[in-house]
């Protein structure tokens, strides 16, 4: 099998709870173990959830920190993107 570049889309920063994170991580890790170059992309139009503060707001610091920590731990530190697009509240 030839090495592929694969994008995994998810929302583990916007909804950083164990089950949601595992849904993306198991694909990322599995595909990396098969020798592929895996990119994680998160681009949602929802306001992130912060489980520490138990709130949903436009501050995406917790979401970004969560993805960065996971990327560092699971080997895709230089292959992830997060785009925060909070809802228009007009």
- The model's pLDDT over 78-87, given as tens digits with 9 standing for 90+, comes to 999 999 776 5
Quote the CA–CA distance of 5 and 13 in Å, as a whole number: 22
C-alpha to C-alpha distance for 83 and 90, rounded to whole angstroms: 21
pTM over 0.85: yes
Give residue 72's pLDDT. 98
85, 45 contact by CB (below 8 A): yes
């Amino acid at each position: 099998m030839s090495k592929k570049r694969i994008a995994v889309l998810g929302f583990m920063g916007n909804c950083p709870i164990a089950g949601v994170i595992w849904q993306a991580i198991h694909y990322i890790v599995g595909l990396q173990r098969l020798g592929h170059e895996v990119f994680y992309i998160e681009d949602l139009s929802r306001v992130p959830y912060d489980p520490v503060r138990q709130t949903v707001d436009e501050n995406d610091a917790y979401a970004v920190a969560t993805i960065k920590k996971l990327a560092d731990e699971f080997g895709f530190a230089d292959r992830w993107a997060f785009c925060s697009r909070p809802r228009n509240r007009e």
